[in-house]
Amino acid sequence: MAAAHHPPAPPVVYSFPSSDILVDSLAQFIVKAQKDSIDKKGRFTIALSGGSLPKMLAGLIGRTGVKWDKWQVFYVDERVVPLDHPDPIPESHIHALDPSLLDDLEELSDAYEQELIGEFAQKDAARFPVFDLILLGMGTDGHTGSLFPGHELLSETDRWIAYLEDSPKPPTSRITFTYPVINHAARVAFVATGEEKAEMLSTVLDRPEEGLPASRVKPVHPGSIFWFVDEPAASKLEYPKKSFKL
């Protein structure tokens, strides 16, 4: 019931002078989230989005303290390549899409929802899954995952996984986490880099009332939201930035 009495926490924005420092800081953040989760319940549930995000996780490779065998990895949308690292996550802990269902989006999304139910329903007994961490990117149009501006899925309040056949970006057919799943995470972290993201980052954080998809990510209490951005992406941002610290 606590969530009904607390507004969502405001975003915390960390700006970095270079992508290298961002990547290293993001890795520190992920390892800390992992440790907190494993100490609490013995596992770490993480969901990754696609685009350029996987290469932003390079700072985890070879890093002390990463317990790959405790990770349970899901995909926010289907445009994800598994993280290539020398310490492989056990295959049974990587929850990929079923390639045999790619021609039936409804069945594919239902099957992936069952994957989430299998991981979360018995362990956490919540209306929606509560990921320890969801990592997201942001498109230059303000989309995140496969939730696009003006799309009807922005108002989805029931399904965990939804599909669309009219994506404005190829491929047109996709499946995606919905806001009820994203906004029940314990932590959400966006990564946005490059001057081509500057205008949209300002819109999303300085003018959230415009309702762009990335602005609608507001984890319910006690969840928290963070932005890891480089200086070019933050160049037009009025929203206050903080120095990174764990």
Strands 174-177 and 161-164: antiparallel
pLDDT score for 149? 96
**Burial, 118: exposed, middle or buried (Cβ in 10 Å; 0-12, 13-18, 19+)?**
exposed
- Given a cut of 90, is residue 221 above it in pLDDT? yes
- What is the per-residue pLDDT across 45-89, written as a single tens digit (0 to 9) for each? 999 987 666 777 889 988 999 999 999 999 998 754 445 554 578
pLDDT mean over 129-144: 96
* The token pair that represents 1 in the structure block: 């019931």
Q: Tally Cβ neighbours within 10 Å of residue 133.
A: 21
**CA-based nearest residue to 175, from 72, 102, 93:** 102
Average pLDDT for 215-241: 97
Give the separation between CA 3 and CA 106, rounded to whole angstroms. 31
Chain center to CA of 125: 21
Number of H helices, E strands in the chain: 5, 8
Per-residue pLDDT at 54: 72
Ramachandran sector of residue 86 (left: φ over 0; alpha: ψ -120 to 50; beta: rest)? alpha
What is the mean pLDDT of the segment spanning 157-164? 93
Structure tokens of 78?
């289907």
Q: How much is the pLDDT for 2? A: 46
Mean pLDDT (whole number) for 159-172: 89
Six-digit token string for 161: 């996984």
pTM greater than 0.75: yes
